[in-house]
Amino acid sequence: MEYLYGIIIIVGLYVILATSFNLIIGYGGLVSIAHPVFFALGAYTSAVLARDLAVPILLAMLAGMLVAVVASIALALPSLRVSGDYLLIASIGFQLGLLEVIKNLRFTGGAGGYVNIPPFLIREFGRESYVLLVLVVMVAVVLLVRWIARSDYGRAMSAMRDDELAFASLGRDAMWMKITIFALGSGFAGLAGALYAHYFRFIVPEQFEILQSAAILTMVVVGGLRTTWGPIVGALLLQALPQALTFLQLPPSILGPIQGLLFTGLVLVFMFVRPQGLVPAGDIWRGAGSGQLAAKRDR
């Protein structure tokens, strides 16, 4: 049972990661690969605060989310000011650099990882309660992103992604919007990280490296950009795949690289063969009160 709970929690957390990354790269059109680093920031912040500074875990988790938000703004502010492409470059540097820092600091446990993270809820209410918590957060994040995408804000995101200069020519501030999207998406990744830390109770820098970026990107692209179900389907599929691979009983030294190749291969195949992903978004923005629906109502 414990094994099953672990899988449910992992899948739930990846749905949060993929959904929030979909907000950034799909709806926002912001190209970044640093999503795992905000996952890491949330995990490490919450873990360190709760274990070494005896901060109540719930507060520590929220602080983890907040640190991810602040860090994402610090990253986005200078890079988005220049041009969208710089965010990609800056995000790579940020991910490599920060993980290197974590590996070399004493209070983060270094490359060996951070151990004995205090558990949350499990001792008092059992593992089921934590599964429930993760699922509730997952559903909340999915619904919130869906709500945003279909609101007036979603319409503006669509316009901004289509043509930033034209968006500005209507008096709209694209810069502010991009930072908001990036900060919100990264904050969700931070929350996922905090939730990870207090269940599995052990985190290590290498689990947030570039392979993780590839995994999350693959989930969104294969599942379907700019859809509610795409990242969910993608996360389920891409989590099932490595589980299936373990049955091949390959040595761990080649299992990692094979996964990496598989992720990259899947992204390439989908880019060429089915760019819309498994769950197609269609080519028109569909808001709750979109022009199409409203026009039908009027008739």
Q: Is 123 helix (H, G, I), strand (E, B) or coil?
A: helix
Please list, in sequence order, all residues whose beta carbon lies within 8 angstroms of the beta carbon of residue 82, skipping any fewer than 6 positions away: none
d(CA 191, CA 64): 6
Cα–Cα distance between 109 and 112 in angstroms, integer? 6
101 within 8 A of 148, measured Cβ to Cβ = no
Query: From the CB of 11, what's the least distance to other proteins, in Å?
Result: 28
Q: Where are the alpha helices (DSSP H) in 151-208?
A: 152-162, 164-168, 174-200
Strand partners, 203: 114
Q: Which is nearer to other proteins, 106 or 299 (CB)?
A: 299
3-state secondary structure of 203: strand
- CA–CA dist 108, 224 (Å, integer): 36
Nearest CB to other proteins, comparing residues 148 and 237: 148
Two structure tokens written together for 99:
């993980």
Residue 220 CB, shortest distance to other proteins, in Å, is 18
Query: What angle, 0 to 180 degrees and rounded to 10, lies between the N-to-C axes of helices 174-200 and 2-21?
Result: 170
Report in angstroms how near the CB of residue 58 gets to other proteins at its nearest.
23
Which residue type occupies 19? T
> What are the start-end ranges of the H helices in the chain?
2-21, 35-52, 57-82, 84-104, 122-125, 127-150, 152-162, 164-168, 174-200, 210-223, 229-246, 252-273, 291-298
Binding site for other proteins (CB under 8 A): 147-148, 151-153, 155-156, 158-163, 165-174, 176-177, 180, 184, 283-285, 287, 289-292, 294-296
Q: Which one, 165 or 248, has the nearer CB to other proteins? A: 165
Residue 242: which residues within 8 A CB-CB, separation 6 or more? Answer: 259
Nearer to other proteins, 188 or 263 (CB): 188
Choice between 153 and 202, CB closer to other proteins:
153
Q: How far is the CB of 297 from other proteins (least distance, A)?
A: 10
Shortest distance in whole angstroms from residue 168 CB to other proteins: 4
Closer Cβ to other proteins, 5 or 153, answer by number = 153
C-beta of 180 vs 207, nearer to other proteins: 180
Q: What contacts 287, CB < 8 A, 6 or more positions away?
A: 149, 150, 151, 152, 154, 155, 293
Least Å from the CB of residue 47 to other proteins: 29
Min dist. Cβ of residue 209 to other proteins (A): 31
Please state the closest distance from residue 176 (CB atom) to other proteins, in A: 7
Residue 128 or 173: the one with the smaller Cβ distance to other proteins is 173
